[in-house]
Amino acid sequence: MAALIRGVALGLWAVVLLQSSVDGRLDLLLRAAFHPLVSSAGGVLLMLAVVQVLVGVRQWGQGADPASRQERRLSMATALIAALLIALPANPSFADLASQRPADDTGNDTLSFVLPPAQRSLTDWVRMLRSQPDPQLFEGDPVRISGFVLPMAEGPPQLARLLVRCCLADATPVGLPVRWPAGEPLPRADQWLAIEGRMAIQNKQLEVVPERNQPIPRPARPLEP
């Protein structure tokens, strides 16, 4: 019986890891480099679970059950946690997370090559502006970016992305100022938007002037390396 419970608990943990690999949960939580590691661990756990279940079935027939009550409780507790993880997927608010973090300040992150303006992502733009801080160079350039709305302590909200080096725990925001259309309500925090427009200079700073501004669902891979 104990081996059977242990097998079920291991099986549920295997499901947590394997399901996360296929349902997009990992894309939301971890950098892509770690995904194969998680899937492989899920596979190994699944094999362990099958062996434990087979052993459990055989022991049940023989009446051999060497495990203590404490061990059974441990297996059941871990199985319960795994079941919770399966049942409750992660749905973080990027704006809430970013409000707790300082903006990314990776000074030596420069672009190794430069894309045409309309093909640059929001992160490409931020890195480009870091390596070439003169705003005059980019005035009038076309912009086609997407990101989530990040309210700022001072000033209007920015369009932002989260940079992740390992997992959501180390995510830091990068954002671009946006000149939101006058007379319209500001977009709500965490709303994902696709913006097409041009770069303009305001108070010696570059900002995006949207010509088209469309709400979009959160992308399948919302985190940027």
Partner 1 sequence: MTSAVLTRLNTAWALFQGLLLEALPFLLIGVLIASLARWFSPGGAWLRRLPDHPVAGPLTGAALGFALPACECGNVPVARRLLVGGAPVGTALGFLFAAPVLNPIVIASTWAAFPDQPWLLLARPAGAVLVALGLALLLRLLPEATLLRTDLLEERRLNQPLASVSLLERRTGVIGLPEDAPPNLPSQLPSSWQEVLRHGSREFLNLALLLVAGCAVAALVQATLPRQWLLAVGGAPTLSIVALMALSLVLSVCSSVDAFLALGFAAQVTPGALLAFLLLGPVIDIKLVGLLSLLFRGKGLLLTAAGSGVLVLLIGQWVNLWRL
Do you know the residue count of the chain?
225
Query: At its nearest, how many Å lie between partner 1 and the CB of residue 221?
Result: 15
Interface with partner 1 (CB under 8 A), residue from 46, 81, 111, 200:
81
- Angle, helix 2-22 to helix 35-62, in steps of 10 degrees: 160
Instruction: Name which of 87 and 182 has its Cβ closer to partner 1.
Output: 87
| Per-residue contact flags (x/-) with partner 1 for residues 157 to 196, judged by CB under 8 A | ------x-xxxxxx-x------------------------
* Residue 184 CB neighbours (<10 A): 8
- Gap between the Cα atoms of 102 and 173, Å rounded: 7
Structure tokens at 164: 């992740």
Handedness of CA 214, 219, 223, 224 (dihedral sign): negative
Q: Contact between 92 and partner 1 (CB under 8 A)?
A: yes
Q: Contact between 100 and partner 1 (CB under 8 A)?
A: yes
- Gap between the Cα atoms of 15 and 89, Å rounded: 13
Rounded to 10 degrees, the C-alpha dihedral 2/5/6/12 comes to 180
Instruction: Name which of 121 and 172 has its Cβ closer to partner 1.
Output: 172
Whether residue 7 contacts residue 56, with contact meaning beta carbons closer than 8 Å, is answered with yes
Q: Is 149 helix (H, G, I), strand (E, B) or coil?
A: strand
Q: Contact between 139 and partner 1 (CB under 8 A)?
A: no
Q: Contact between 85 and partner 1 (CB under 8 A)?
A: yes
| Per-residue contact flags (x/-) with partner 1 for residues 3 to 42, judged by CB under 8 A | x--xx-xx--x--xx--x----xx-xxx---x--xx-xx-
Instruction: Name which of 77 and 137 has its Cβ closer to partner 1.
Output: 77
Q: What are phi and psi of 70, to 5 degrees?
A: -60, -40
Q: Contact between 44 and partner 1 (CB under 8 A)?
A: yes
Q: Which residues bind partner 1 (CB under 8 A)?
A: 3, 6-7, 9-10, 13, 16-17, 20, 25-26, 28-30, 34, 37-38, 40-41, 44-45, 48, 51-52, 55, 71, 74-75, 77-78, 81, 85, 88, 90-93, 96-97, 99-102, 104-108, 163, 165-170, 172
